């Protein structure tokens, strides 16, 4: 389903072998949060992908884990930015800005996607879901 949708939107994407259920369980354990079903189903079909300009629209499981843990634990980030424990990063826009689900009281309670602006720490709504985000980005990339 996901590869077909993405291929319809942009035939120039590079896909990877599917993530395993074990990798997803390990990710949830490491981040101490259930991963949204929509993201899980995508990762079970392709463990991340990037489009022809090299932008990683969805990161592989290991990068999702690494980025989230790094952002949450970096002492310099704690001085510069609002806390990151309220976001689950899963992709980027190729300009330093990250894509994330909002976390409220330890859970992701909606499918809404937000962008985190690395220059000013703004967190703005971007899409209703991953599918909506992909349709918006692959048709007309976000402006940096």
In a domain, 131, yes or no: yes
Query: For position 84, which CATH number holds?
Result: 3.40.1580.10
Exposure of 32 by Cβ count < 10 A (0-12 exposed, 13-18 middle, 19+ buried)? exposed
The answer, yes or no, to whether residue 144 has pLDDT greater than 50, is: no
In a domain, 12, yes or no: yes
Q: What is the pLDDT of residues 106-142, one digit of tens each?
A: 999 999 999 999 999 999 999 999 999 999 888 755 4
In a domain, 79, yes or no: yes
Number of domains in the chain: 1
Coil vs helix vs strand at 117: coil
Q: What is the pLDDT of residues 23-52, one digit of tens each?
A: 999 999 999 999 999 999 999 999 999 988
What is the distance of C-alpha 48 from the center of its chain? 9
Does the model's pTM come out above 0.95? no
In a domain, 45, yes or no: yes
Q: How many helices (H) and strands (E) does the chain have?
A: 6, 7
Q: Which domain does 114 fall in, by range?
A: 2-139
The answer, yes or no, to whether residue 143 has pLDDT greater than 50, is: no
What is the distance of C-alpha 94 from the center of its chain? 12
In a domain, 144, yes or no: no
């Amino acid at each position: 389903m996901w590869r077909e949708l993405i291929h319809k939107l942009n035939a120039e994407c590079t896909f990877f072998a599917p993530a395993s259920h074990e990798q997803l369980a390990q990710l949830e354990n490491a981040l101490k949060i259930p991963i949204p079903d929509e993201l899980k189903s995508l990762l079970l079909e392709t463990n991340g992908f990037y489009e022809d300009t090299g932008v990683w629209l969805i990161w592989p499981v290991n990068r999702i884990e690494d980025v989230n843990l790094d952002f949450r634990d970096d002492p310099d980030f704690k001085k510069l930015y609002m806390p990151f424990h309220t976001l689950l990063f899963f992709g980027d826009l190729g300009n330093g800005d990250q894509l994330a689900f909002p976390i409220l009281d330890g859970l992701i309670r909606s499918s809404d996607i937000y962008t985190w602006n690395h220059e000013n720490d703004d967190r703005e709504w971007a899409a209703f879901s991953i599918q909506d985000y992909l349709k918006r980005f692959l048709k007309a990339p976000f402006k940096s």
